Structures are given as C-alpha cells and as structure tokens.
Amino acid sequence: MSGFRNWLLGPQASLFADKVDTLYIVIFWLCMFFFLLITGLTLGSAFAWRYKKGRKTPHITDHLFLELAWSIVPLCSAS
C-alpha cells in the first residue's frame, strides 16, 4: 500500500504529512467505494429495466400541478 501512497501523493515534506496523507487515502477509498456502488447500481438497473421486445409501456398523461411544483419549489428554496 505504501507504493500506491507514494505514487499517488509523492514524497512527504513535513512532520505531519503522514496524518494528512492517511486522511487523504481514507477519503479516496471512501469515494471509490461509493463511486463503484453507484455505478454498479446504475448499470444493474439499466440492465434489469432495459427494453424488451413485446413489452408495452403504460400510457402516461401529464400532471401540470406536479410538474409546476417540482420546478417552482427548488427555485423558492434556493433564495
């Protein structure tokens, strides 16, 4: 693991660099975990719900109030 750390971060130039580097590596692996989890779930969902010949989708109608609500509420809450 130290080879990966040296490749990713380079040489240490201070006394507390080891703690900072360790924190960086922990955050890096945490981000990698969530990236792979979300990517896997997205691809799995796309594979599970992909188009299949012969399957008919239900007729979906517009819902004006709902569309206005999810457009206006974020605008009002942002300010």
The string of DSSP letters for 10-70 reads ----STTHHHHHHHHHHHHHHHHHHHHHHHHHHHHHHHHT---TTPPPPP----HHHHHHH
Would you kindly state where each structural domain of the chain is located, as residue ranges?
Answer: 1-52
pLDDT at 16 over 60: yes
* pTM (2 d.p.): 0.62
pLDDT band at 1 (very low <50, low <70, confident <90, very high): low
- What pLDDT score does 26 carry? 93
Give tens-digit pLDDT for 23-75. Answer: 999 999 999 999 999 999 999 999 988 877 887 777 777 888 998 998 898 88
